[in-house]
A = this chain, B = another copy of it.
Amino acid sequence: MPGHAASLMQLPISLDPALPATLQEQLFRALQRLILRGVAAPGIVLPGSRQLAAQLGVSRNTVVLAVERLASEGYVGPVRGRGMAVSEGLPDSFLSAPPAMVRSGPRRAADRGGAITRPSRPPAIDFRIGRPDSASFPQAAWRRAVDRQLQHRLDGLFDYPDPAGHHGLRACIASQLAAARGIAADAADIVILSGLPEALDIAATVLSLRGRVALVEKPCYARALAVLRHHGAAVRAIPVDRHGLQVDRLPKGTARLVFVTPSHQFPLGFTLPLERRAALLGKASALDAYVFEDDYDSDFRHEGSPLTALKGLDASGRVIYFGTFAKSLGPGLRLAYVVLPRSLREPFLRVKDIAYRGRPWLEQAALADFIAEGSYQSHIRRSRRLYTRRRDVLGRALRQAFGPVDLSGLGGGMHLAWHLGRNLPGARRIAALAAATGVGVYPIEAAPAEAFGDRRLLDRTLLIGYASVEEAAIEPGVAKLARAIEED
């Protein structure tokens, strides 16, 4: 059927030497496409290689190799004395398969660093919460710590990482926790993971939360709630007051888990006092519940020393402690950890190993070094001083612009909560007015926090982060905010 073969040659096979794929590859794909689309039907004989080469302006060898590959994949086969023909055995279902395309070179993403998906341009002065100051990050020391790992034998690259995490890093964390949080743990109690959602996801599986009661604070971190609900837990929210979780309002009966943020209640910033910590541990025992302690924002204490963590007071092995480097270094690291009660170590690691395995080796190893040489600790000290100053400037600016204001969360952390007086618009309205003038302040749901429909929390609470806002921009930002509200 030379007619068919000739008609095949009329078809647009366009080869482009500028594309990254070789001409041979391009020709293979083009012919494969013709076959798959049914343009070159079963039985059709391909033109000779000399002829095809001449027509396409490529070497004969290119054609021969492309056709050989078609043959090796079964698209064409030899016909006695007549060259190669499209195979008869190709199932009909193939003939409508989408063609494999030869694409041009890689598109470079606009944001090379980290593919940040934000709906629109961030405000010029963005009081967003939970973001560390990038300008004061010890870039040179961190760069050295990473590069040291890449100078020598890259052992960590060539094997699967320990699902529990880098041993040296776990030992460093244990040491830090003893000094800073009063937690007696060793490396074997610690598991490195990506963040709170992963930690809670694994805990929820280990504790078989489906259908069982999980108690959370009202308001609470929306992502924590999403994980609990994903696992089918029966979630009940217990209100917080100015001293955090109202422990005496915990229900009777049984519960499987209590999720709390004792250091700096998320997102309102209250600190759970010692008596309530003790009462909570007693109550957990009565409920037969585990306590998931999200030690939110404990790195930066502006007033006094941080209270000893619940985990440091836990006599009965009920507390799962969660800490993270997302706030002290950056969320792009994806490095966090849990300290587990002995009884949960083995089941937790077993579940983690099913799907998550270990964390990437490089930044774990670098961080261990960074802590061991003391760079981490001095970074934390510097950040704490910086954030304390910014908090002071923010508080002063708010009082200047709005008179007496009811703020919470001043004792530590990276943001404060402003409990809006009745004379002010609602939180969402203020956030929208502010955004229109290039200032970012946030209602509680943007934290993201879940208020369980509490109108006072939703309407009358505004969150203002100060850690990542330059000191000189804070007062102007607040002044713009005040003007925007006034002009409303």
Contacts and interface: CB of A to CB of B under 8 A. Distances in A.
B137 A142 contact: no
A179 B100 CA distance: 9
Contacts of A360: 194, 332-335, 359-360, 363
A168 B332 contact: no
A487 interface: no
Contacts of A90: 274, 278
Interface string A134-175: 100101001100110111111111111110111110011011
A99 B355 contact: no
A460 to B, nearest CB: 28
B113 A183 contact: no
A187 interface: yes
A178 B275 contact: no
Contact of A304 (B69, B226, B334): B69
B21 A93 contact: no
A119 interface: no
A72 B115 contact: no
A12 interface: no
Nearest to A279: B91
Nearest to A111: B155
Interface string A318-337: 00000000000111111100
A314 B285 CA distance: 55
Interface string A277-316: 0110110010000000000000000001101100011110
A115 B230 contact: no
Contact of A162 (B116, B164, B359): B116
A362 interface: yes
Contacts of A142: 150
A198 interface: yes
B115 A161 contact: yes
Contact of A356 (B105, B178, B198, B329): B198
A156 B114 contact: yes
Contacts of A197: 354-357
Interface stretch (A213-221, A365-373, A470-478): A365-373
Contacts of A331: 157-161
A467 to B, nearest CB: 11
Interface in A204-226: 226
Interface string A331-365: 11111000000000000000000111111111111
A54 to B, nearest CB: 24
B115 A175 contact: no
Contacts of A226: 354
A201 interface: yes
A100 B182 contact: yes
Contact of A113 (B111, B115, B156, B359): B156
A139 B110 CA distance: 27
The 7 closest A-B pairs by CB, nearest first: A114-B156, A113-B155, A74-B274, A109-B168, A100-B182, A113-B156, A201-B355
Given A109-B168, A115-B168, A116-B159, 16 more contacts: A75-B274, A98-B315, A103-B174, A111-B155, A112-B369, A115-B161, A131-B158, A143-B147, A146-B362, A157-B332, A159-B331, A160-B332, A194-B360, A198-B356, A333-B362, A362-B363
